């Protein structure tokens, strides 16, 4: 062991550092896509299978796993070519360690609250999704990319009934940028009270069940604002309570605390 440590060269440190940077940057580029969870799932399955093959002397199974692992690079390129292509396209758009410029959180929250208040008054429907820790790149790339600083005027123009993007959702990424509009969200499969909730609420509930994003919904029929987070829906929330809830949720809490659970009143699906 001591001999190994004594034989370490300066070039070895450079080699390790370079590989670490490349791996870090690649993972940062594909963060928020389906690539990472699928890689993790494949790793668990292959690792478990190889372990069983080793324990029980399953030669054929072990040989198969070894060959699959040996061809892993080619398999990954074929399966995830679209995600990898999009990730590599971002290399020239970002710096090595900084992925975006943070927009002031209080300013962002004020824009969302003012927009929801104005649209509710006009009875214009809207869906605003705020990304937290889980990446939403798959939903963003399926919409119309914008990458703009969100303003009340911009959001109002997007949700204007004459706008071609008004039926979809807007997604604001974790840096506070308006990443995309016209995004399609997963619908909740459970039934909701049709007299109170429509497609927008089902989409908001579905998104909150599948991700950790927080969603603000404006009802076109009733002119009311709702907040959806972690499957909990708060109906007819006031601008003051909406601002307070968004500020608390966007502080990167892993889950609502007891007080938040009380304020986020669960709507019976």
Instruction: Work out the average pLDDT over 64-81.
Output: 78
Count Cβ atoms below 10 Å from residue 153 Cβ, excluding itself: 11
Three-class secondary structure of residue 131 per DSSP: coil
| Pairing of the two strands 225-229 and 232-234 | antiparallel
C-alpha–C-alpha distance, residues 232 and 245, integer Å: 12
Higher pLDDT, 131 or 89: 131
Highest mean pLDDT range out of 10-14, 136-140, 210-214? 210-214
Asked if 156 and 218 count as a contact pair (C-beta separation under 8 A), the reply is: no
Which tens digit of pLDDT belongs to each residue from 157-170?
999 999 999 989 99
Give the contacts of 258 (CB within 8 A, at least 6 positions apart). none
Question: Which one is predicted more confidently, 84 or 249?
Answer: 249
For Cα atoms 123, 232, 108, give the angle at the middle one, nearest 5 degrees: 60
Range from 32-46, 60-74, 88-102, 110-124 carrying the lowest mean pLDDT:
88-102
The number of beta carbons lying within 10 Å of the beta carbon of residue 76 is: 16
Reply yes or no on whether the pLDDT at 98 is more than 50. Answer: no
User: What letter would DSSP give residue 59?
Assistant: H
For residues 86 and 94, the answer to whether their CB atoms sit within 8 Å is no
| CA separation for the pair 200, 123 (Å, rounded) | 14
Fold of 105-263: YojJ-like (1 (3.40.1700)
Query: Residue 67 class from Cβ within 10 Å (0-12 exposed, 13-18 middle, 19+ buried)?
Result: exposed
Q: Report if pTM > 0.75.
A: no
Which residues belong to CATH 3.40.1700.10 in the chain? 105-263
C-alpha–C-alpha distance, residues 131 and 158, integer Å? 19
Return the SS3 of 57: coil
Q: What angle do CA 157, 163, 169 make, to 5 degrees?
A: 80
> 162 by DSSP, 3-state: which?
coil
Q: What residues contact residue 61 under an 8 Å CB cut-off, 6+ apart?
A: 49, 52, 53
Residue 143: count of CB within 10 angstroms of its CB:
20
DSSP 96-121: SS---PPPPHHHHHHHHHHHHHHHHH
Q: How would residue 146 be classed by pLDDT, with cut points 50, 70 and 90?
A: very high
Looking at every residue in the chain, the average pLDDT score rounds to 82
């Amino acid at each position: 062991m001591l001999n190994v440590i004594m034989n370490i060269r300066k070039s070895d440190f450079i080699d390790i550092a370079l590989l670490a940077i490349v791996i870090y940057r690649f993972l940062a580029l594909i963060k928020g896509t389906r690539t990472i969870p699928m890689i993790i799932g494949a790793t668990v399955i292959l690792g478990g299978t190889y372990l069983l093959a080793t324990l029980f002397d399953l030669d054929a199974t072990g040989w198969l796993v070894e060959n699959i692992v040996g061809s892993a690079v080619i398999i990954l390129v074929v399966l995830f070519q679209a995600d990898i292509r999009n990730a590599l396209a971002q290399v020239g758009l970002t710096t090595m360690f900084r992925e975006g410029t943070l927009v002031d959180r209080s300013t962002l929250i004020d824009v969302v609250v003012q927009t929801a208040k104005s649209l509710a008054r006009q009875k214009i429907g809207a869906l605003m999704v705020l990304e937290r820790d889980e990446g939403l790149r798959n939903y963003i790339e399926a919409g119309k990319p914008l990458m703009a600083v969100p303003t009340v005027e911009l959001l109002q123009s997007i949700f204007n009934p004459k706008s071609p993007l008004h039926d979809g959702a807007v997604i604001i990424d974790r840096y506070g940028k308006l990443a995309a509009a016209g995004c399609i969200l997963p619908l909740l499969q459970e039934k909701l009270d049709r007299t109170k909730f429509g497609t927008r609420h089902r989409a908001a509930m579905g998104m909150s069940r599948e991700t950790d994003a927080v969603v603000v919904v404006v009802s076109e029929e009733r002119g009311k604002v709702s907040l959806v987070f972690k499957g909990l829906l708060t109906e007819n929330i006031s601008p003051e309570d909406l601002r307070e809830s968004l500020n608390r949720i966007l502080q990167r809490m892993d889950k609502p605390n007891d007080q938040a659970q009380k304020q986020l009143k669960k709507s019976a699906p």
